[in-house]
Structure 1
Amino acid sequence: MENEDVNWAACPECKGQGKKSRGLSKKMKLRYQNELNLFEKSNSEGKPPIRPKAHQHSCSNCLGSGLVRVANRLVADAGTFPHVAIIGGGIGGVALAVACLHRNIPFTLFERDQNFEARSQGYGLTLQQASKAIEGFGIFSLQDGVVSTRHVVHTMEGKIIGEWGIRKWIQSDAEKYEKRTNIHIARQLLRLQLLKQLGGSKFVQWGHQLVDFKESENQGLELTFQTKNGMKKTKADLVVGADGIRSSVRRQLIGDEATPLRYLDCIVILGICPLEALKDIDDSLLDSATVFQTANGNERIYIMPYTADSVMWQLSFPMPEEEAKALSVLGTKALKEEACRRIQWHKPIPQILEATQESEISGYPVYDRELLTSEMLQKGNSVTLIGDAAHPMSPFKGQGANQALLDALLLARAISLGCRSSSEWKKIGLREKVLNEFEVEMLARSAIKVKDSAAAAEFLHSDIVLYESDEPRGRCLKKKDK
């Protein structure tokens, strides 16, 4: 299904969840009832049995997206749902706004940038789990998205030590297995497509830097923003921090001391190179469908399709934190010189680095944070976090945007189901009605991604990366752990 200028609403059959319950089998019901009877006979000693969850299947009415077409743009139902203040207009924040729009949930999206163009083009990202979930935002084909069908790993001399993907395993019928590929897209292009679903940039409150928020037990929250016209105050029922690794919402909610930034002992230098700058180079690695990486046990470069006519490269290597900070501050010229000095490897890598314009280069030290616990987030009765604000991670597993999209969809669905009656959620509170269950699921899902991404920051810059096998780097470590 191609993207069209249509309006979407939550599917009435599955209530926007994309899945429907099959119900509990007689065997499961009987087992649970027996366990409950034994628990009651023991005078309720020990832990009570947990009611089993029914198996779910994809909703046939919406084909699993949770959305159906409607004639007109939905009007927010302020009489039923809480008003959501979304702090941060990156991918996670815009995605949450779109998901709220589709469910009649009133929201306001605040972004500190003055406009969409204020942010640089940014680097590319790879949609993995979220390549299916993106349909839950009304996006059924990613314009400008590039599908990779081959992944190759080299030594710095150019020897292949690993290869996988459709073209290796299923050469005869690659199109049939497109669902098993990754989709690569520029971060800003995905953000733009989400904004289109929202109705455009006019639905974003640009130039709003959050200063603080205050919770009151019965009157929601009061937020204060710094704008170009001075301080501005507004109210909301729920605040969602989608404002990145240095989240101001997170800082006010739990403080930086509880989970400070954790340096992962390496720096990343990124660049975007148009293929036309390499037109004299004929190399199968530059076919716009191949991802390749090269490493020597210290430095590692990863190159992927950025658009149909450009590639993005990511060079990373260990460096003391203060040196990494100093190098990033020196600017793009110094970053490019450092990259070219370190990487005199097989073709076409030196040529790609040399052809990359300084204006298309950036670099930064790599950080994450210790995992949050549910108890930490419970400090806010009507405040929560999603994306990098909740679970920042290194870029080496390509999971940041994926997890932010999944968080946004999960939270919007939780609000939609948990707040069908305004009197009920106002009486019980959003934390009990929505946030506790949402956060448990979000933190459990993202925890393994944070851990794997931190582990990758270490093993991708060690001899493990040179392990010869036709599989992603680091998988051998999981085999040994088993």
Structure 2
Amino acid sequence: MDFERLFISHPSFFETKKDSEKIIGIIGGGIAGLALAIALQKHKIRSVVFEKDESFDSRHQGYGLTMQQGGRALKTLGLSQNIAENSVSSHGHFVFDSEGYVILYWMPEEKKEREDGWTSGRNCHISRQNLRHILLDALDPDYTNVVWNSKLDHFVEKEELVELWFKDCDSEITVNALAGCDGIYSKVRKKILGDDLSYLGVFVMLGIFDNSKFSLCQDRVIQMSNGSTRVFAMPYDKTRWMWQLSFPYDYDASISLSSSGSLMLKETALELCKDFANPFLNMIEETSIDLITGYPVYDRDPLQAVLKENSLITLLGDAAHPMSPFKGQGANQALLDAVILADEIKKNENLKVAMRKYENNMIERTKNKVLGSRMGVSTLHCKEFLDTEYQLERRGFGNSNSAIELINSIRDQGIKCDDDRFLELIKSNRFVS
């Protein structure tokens, strides 16, 4: 472990200089954990992040994120400009059937760039690892340390302290409170709640590819479906895109597939999408097996009440509210968790009170996100997904006769997504959301 380096470089870090000073222990160096550390240091509150990975680069690249409500948290953390400079944007969303005919498309009204670098009406996309890197660089060593290769073994909550034990370490670490930011398989949650994950009956694959060959991939988010299997593609970084392939799958088969290796994942993806129109099939073909991952999709029921009233332990991010990826809310809510918990700790001298106030906010804020993401399993993998009226209703557009007439006209002309005429046509027929 790196505890020795921590104590050598900052020998007084755990020595409380004032009775009022606190040290918050954070389990997990993902988005929630690092964001919490930054939010705390903004309030001059010290923390230590314990991350089980050996180093920052030992983790898989991960997939892309779309910043939505989390943008507010990033602004609070002072990172909006940095994120804007290191992200890519999209302007327009297109849904196609597996033959390549458009079902619906929409383009939000373009607005001017704001002072913080964000442009209203455009989606901001950033890779998970890039966001983690920005968060890590923002940490101030006077207030925060990250201890890599620190695998939590167990913890014991005392009246006003929490003692932490780590594997390959003979002594405990004592903190004033503990934040479990250790993801969907949270060890902290397992001990304090012990509830099981729920399999949602769907498998997800992710791939990253060079988008330079695909004109349809410029500045857009695109989907294709055959009424069961669905591919969603969006910007990943400046030169690459990512695709997300999702499909209903038996639990035992999902477990087997997730452990079968990237080559089998790619072969399965190609088989499922063999009848899909280009460019979707070509996207998968062009993806290196080193950049393909896959996993069964789980969530948990939303928390109904705060954790133990007198506890110094709380949960953030996927440890608190794991959800399917179909609403893109996981990282956004994790960022909000971090800012809100830090604010409550600053406002409330009593850490137990601060944590319960945060939990009340988190539960109310995330329950519909979890349930909405769960609903996406059925609404995104059904025959109705191929119906324009269904898509209009799903997007909250209502019954737009003009949109239906336009979509039908495009189909009647035999214009598909890989047809140059399609991109020309939409320039003069913007359906604005």
The residue aligned with 2:167 is 226
Instruction: Give the one of 449, 453, 462 matched to 2:369.
Output: 449
TM-score normalised over the length of structure 1: 0.74
The residue aligned with 1:197 is 138
Aligned residues of 1:134 and 1:405 also touching (Cα < 8 A): yes
The residue aligned with 2:229 is 299
The residue aligned with 1:6 is none
Q: Describe how 1:172-251 pairs up with structure 2 within 5 A.
A: 178-199=119-140, 203-218=145-160, 220-227=161-168, 230-251=169-190
1:245 deviates by: 0.7
Q: Aligned to 1:117, what secondary structure does the other structure show?
A: helix
Q: Report the residue type matching 1:389 in the other structure.
A: A
The residue aligned with 1:5 is none
Instruction: Give the one of 19, 23, 36 matched to 1:96.
Output: 36
1:97-145 C-alpha deviation (Å, 9 max, x unpaired): 0111111111111001111011011111111111232111121221320
Taking every aligned residue pair, what percent have the same amino acid on both sides? Answer: 38
1:379 deviates by: 6.2
2:52 paired with 1:112 = yes
Change beyond 3 A, Cα 1:262–1:474: farther
Q: Distance in 1 between matches of 2:130 and 2:393?
A: 28
Change beyond 3 A, Cα 1:148–1:380: farther
Instruction: Give the one of 351, 356, 364 matched to 2:295.
Output: 364
Change beyond 3 A, Cα 1:304–1:120: same
The residue aligned with 1:31 is none
Q: Distance in 2 between matches of 1:459 and 1:408?
A: 30
Instruction: Give the one of 131, 139, 145 matched to 2:71.
Output: 131
Q: Describe how 1:327-366 pairs up with structure 2 within 5 A.
A: 327-344=257-274, 345-366=276-297
2:92 paired with 1:153 = no
Aligned residues of 1:209 and 1:226 also touching (Cα < 8 A): yes
Q: Distance in 2 between matches of 1:478 and 1:111?
A: 47
The residue aligned with 2:211 is 275
1:318-370 C-alpha deviation (Å, 9 max, x unpaired): 00000011011111000000101111312111111001000000000000011
Q: Distance in 2 between matches of 1:339 and 1:244?
A: 27
Q: Distance in 2 between matches of 1:251 and 1:338?
A: 33
Aligned residues: 378
Q: Which has the higher contact order (CA 8 A, sep 6+)?
A: 2
1:472 deviates by: 7.5
Q: Distance in 1 between matches of 2:149 and 2:393?
A: 42
Aligned residues of 1:76 and 1:104 also touching (Cα < 8 A): no
Q: Report the residue type matching 1:253 in the other structure.
A: I
Q: Distance in 2 between matches of 1:253 and 1:365?
A: 24
Q: Report the residue type matching 2:382 in the other structure.
A: S
Aligned residues of 1:332 and 1:359 also touching (Cα < 8 A): yes
1:39-92 C-alpha deviation (Å, 9 max, x unpaired): xxxxxxxxxxxxxxxxxxxxxxxxxxxxxxxxxxxx998542432000000000
Change beyond 3 A, Cα 1:472–1:388: farther
Aligned residues of 1:85 and 1:238 also touching (Cα < 8 A): yes
Change beyond 3 A, Cα 1:381–1:353: same
Change beyond 3 A, Cα 1:224–1:151: same
Q: Report the residue type matching 2:166 in the other structure.
A: F
1:409 deviates by: 0.3
1:405 deviates by: 0.1
Aligned residues of 1:121 and 1:188 also touching (Cα < 8 A): yes
1:240-299 C-alpha deviation (Å, 9 max, x unpaired): 00000110000111113xxx11000000010000124x3xx5x2x221x10000111100
Aligned residues of 2:392 and 2:398 also touching (Cα < 8 A): no
Q: Aligned to 2:80, what secondary structure does the other structure show?
A: coil
The residue aligned with 2:342 is 412
Q: Distance in 2 between matches of 1:216 and 1:453?
A: 37
Q: Describe how 1:389-468 pairs up with structure 2 within 5 A.
A: 389-419=319-349, 425=350, 430-431=351-352, 433-468=353-388
Q: Distance in 2 between matches of 1:440 and 1:464?
A: 37
Q: Aligned to 1:244, what secondary structure does the other structure show?
A: coil
TM-score normalised over the length of structure 2: 0.82
Q: Distance in 1 between matches of 2:327 and 2:150?
A: 32
Q: Distance in 1 between matches of 2:92 and 2:103?
A: 14
Q: Aligned to 1:180, what secondary structure does the other structure show?
A: coil
1:469 deviates by: 5.0
Change beyond 3 A, Cα 1:387–1:145: same
2:323 paired with 1:381 = no
2:248 paired with 1:318 = yes
Aligned residues of 2:230 and 2:246 also touching (Cα < 8 A): yes
Aligned residues of 1:137 and 1:194 also touching (Cα < 8 A): no
Q: Distance in 2 between matches of 1:381 and 1:197?
A: 30
Q: Distance in 2 between matches of 1:315 and 1:462?
A: 14
Q: Aligned to 1:330, what secondary structure does the other structure show?
A: coil
1:198-239 C-alpha deviation (Å, 9 max, x unpaired): 148x93111111111111114x11111114xx3441001100
1:438 deviates by: 1.1
Aligned residues of 1:162 and 1:470 also touching (Cα < 8 A): no
